[in-house]
Amino acid sequence: MKQNNNNSFNITFYLLIVPVLIWLVFMIVIPHAEMLISSFLVEDDEGEMIFSFANYIEFFTQKIYWLTFVKTAAYSIGVTLLAFIIAFPIAFYLSKVTSKKNAGFLMLLLLIPLWVGELVTVYGWIVLLGDNGVINHFLINIGIINEPITMLYTNFSMVVGLLYMSMLFMVIPVMSTLQSLDDSLIEAACDLGATKWDIFTKIIIPYSMPGITSGAIIVFMLVIGDYLAPNLLGGKNSLWFTEQIYNSFLQTFNWNEGAAFGFLLLMLSSGIIWLALKLSGQKLDKVGT
Amino acid sequence: MIRSLPSSSLYRISYVVYVFLFFTFLLMPLVAISVLAFNDSNFISLPWNGFTFDWFFSSTNERQGLFADEELITSIVTSLSTGFFVAALSTLIGTLAALLFEEEQFRLKGLLYFLALAPLVIPGVILGISILLTATSAGNHIEDNFGLDVELLRPSYWLVILGQFSFAATYVMLLVSARLKKFDRTLEEAALSLKATRLEAIWYVTIPFLRPAILGAFVVAFILSFSNINTTIFLIGSDPTLPIDLYSRIRFSSTPVLNAVSFLIVVVISGLAFINFFANRSNK
């Protein structure tokens, strides 16, 4: 009987692990190994693929490539900071200020743009920000301006689009850590004469740090890997590194160069995420929840 | 500052104004496209020229409404069926992964769990290109050695499904795991001591407990698939999904039919969200 039971445990274990292994090995491990290998291959004069660092050398010697890389990293960090500044008061409002019932409804409004999808919302911003767009029309009609302001196809519109699609991912984790913050801590601080600023910097921010880290990591990852907002809302000068990858793959068909760019982007994003986790002492599995 | 504490009215009012502005910012693009979907004009934005259903139903040469545009309808159908397969596949594998990581102990568990979470922090573009590279070189290999042309290994409908599945399964796993953490393990032990096999215990006890989370995860996976573009754009073959079709229209030929499609998506999504919201509320 005991033996039989052990067998059935083993069967269950293999039924669970085999499909999961197939997923992880064939869809995650092998593709990334393949990408790394491809990035070290170039075609020689006879059309044979040979090992070479040429794709990486190309990246470091062509100013446009590494400049885009640095710009993408800097903008992504900037957008993450902005997302924190804009989203934190909202997360605080939803978890601590307004009633539960209101919070539920506002939460729903917050989620709708996410479910609608990035493409539709990016398109919405094109309609709003264009020279003949809704906002310029409105401003001209009420007489604030005479000529339309150029907003679309600039760094400004790109940042608006990036913020819009990523902000929510800062609100939710911060909100869920704040929900577990005991109100009496704030009340006690207030009774003892702490100012709002003291309460904010000494209680609320330290307490919500795990949520802020999770939010920052997700926002950063989404922004640095985004393609639509820089491509559709950004101008000629707002080149994003993902667009370089896209061009290598689908326009110049230099897949090996594209693989090298992809690997560099992966290193950049995981490097910064690793740093954020180390600095805050968090684990990756906390980010997911 | 918080509900239980008094604060100055200036503070309270400015806070409410900020929240109001934030939600205006949030809803502005959705409201704008929804209203302009009914604008009797050939341009995507203002001025307002009067109300029309042309961008839904008209089928003249000048104005191709949404329901008269076969290309658009085809891409919507493609997206729906892709979403269904992605949701089914990732719900299955994601649920298995949740059971595996929550209930089993084995060597290299930490490493496997890390890999399962990796799609959360890998940009979608990279998943797209790495799967494209792998599928293409595997396809070339098979063609050179066996003379077979495997459609799955070229940019195609099925490769898109595999690509979207690769990250959707992670989200399913997280959603199901969250519910599994609340599961009272003694129920499973009771079933085992009543001579159920491990499989029977999972099937008759654990899975019914997980059902709401599994259903929710299916919907999430469907939505992830339906709106995905970063990964899909590299894997797409000859049948574009809706986001890919809309993307090329936005870049090359914007007409208000884009407003109509967007309006439809906004209405369907908000409708589902509100139904879900009020159903949950009345359950409580």
Chain B CB contacts of A191 below 8 Å: none
pTM of the model: 0.85
Of all residues in chain A, the percent with pLDDT exceeding 90 is: 9
* Residue B14 Cα, gap to closest chain A Cα (Å): 12
CB contact under 8 A, B247 and A113: no
Reply yes or no on whether the pLDDT at A4 is more than 50. no
Cis peptide before B240 (omega within 30 of 0): no
Give the confidence band of B170 by pLDDT, cuts at 50, 70, 90: very high
pLDDT tens-digit map of B80-115: 999 999 999 999 999 999 988 888 888 888 888 888
CA A218 from chain centre, in angstroms, equals 5
Q: How crowded is residue A73: how many other Cβ atoms within 10 Å of its Cβ? A: 18
Output the pLDDT for position B209.
Answer: 86
- Taking residues A87-111, what's their average pLDDT? 84
Output the pLDDT for position A78.
Answer: 93
Question: Chains A and B: how many Cβ contacts under 8 Å?
Answer: 267
Output the pLDDT for position A3.
Answer: 44
Chain A CB contacts of B45 below 8 Å: 127, 130, 132-134, 137
* ipTM, interface predicted TM-score of the complex: 0.83
Reply yes or no on whether the pLDDT at B133 is more than 50. yes
CB contact under 8 A, A20 and B93: yes
The burial of A265, by beta-carbon neighbours within 10 Å (0-12 exposed, 13-18 middle, 19 or more buried), is given as: buried
pLDDT tens-digit map of A217-232: 888 988 988 888 888 8
The Cβ-side half-sphere exposure at A206, using a 13 Å CA radius, reads: 8
Of all residues in chain A, the percent with pLDDT exceeding 70 is: 94
Reply yes or no on whether the pLDDT at A11 is more than 50. yes
Lowest mean pLDDT among A13-22, A149-158, B17-26: A149-158
Q: In whole angstroms, what is the distance from residue A91 CA to residue A30 CA?
A: 40
pLDDT tens-digit map of B43-68: 666 766 766 766 666 666 666 766 66
Q: Specify the higher pLDDT residue, B160 or B277.
A: B160
Q: In whole angstroms, what is the distance from residue A29 CA to residue A36 CA?
A: 11
Q: How crowded is residue A34: how many other Cβ atoms within 10 Å of its Cβ? A: 21
Q: Provide the 3-class DSSP secondary structure of residue B115.
A: helix
- Taking residues A107-132, what's their average pLDDT? 86
A48 phi-psi bin (left φ>0, alpha ψ -120 to 50, beta other): beta
Q: Which two tokens stand for residue B277?
A: 């919201």
CA of B11: which chain A residue's CA is closest? A196
CB contact under 8 A, A124 and B120: no
pLDDT tens-digit map of A45-95: 777 777 878 778 878 888 888 888 888 989 999 999 999 999 998 988 888
Output the pLDDT for position A100.
Answer: 78
pLDDT tens-digit map of B185-240: 888 888 888 887 878 888 888 888 888 888 888 888 888 898 888 899 888 888 88
pLDDT tens-digit map of A140-187: 888 777 777 777 888 888 999 999 988 888 998 888 888 887 777 777
| CATH placement of domain A64-288 | 1.10.3720.10
Average pLDDT, chain A: 83
- Give the A window 77-106 contacts with B, CB below 8 Å: 86, 89-90, 93, 96-97, 99, 104-106
CB contact under 8 A, A16 and B99: yes
- Give the A window 153-212 contacts with B, CB below 8 Å: 164, 183, 186-187, 190, 196, 199
The answer to whether residue A18 neighbours chain B at the CB level (below 8 Å) is no
Reply yes or no on whether the pLDDT at A285 is more than 90. no
CB contact under 8 A, A123 and B30: no
Output the pLDDT for position B131.
Answer: 92
Q: Where are the domains of chain A?
A: 64-288
Of all residues in chain B, the percent with pLDDT exceeding 70 is: 86
Residue-range domains of chain B with CATH: 70-243 (1.10.3720.10)
Chain B CB contacts of A255 below 8 Å: 129, 133
Give the confidence band of A257 by pLDDT, cuts at 50, 70, 90: confident
Output the pLDDT for position B68.
Answer: 67
CB contact under 8 A, A27 and B165: yes
Of all residues in chain B, the percent with pLDDT exceeding 90 is: 15
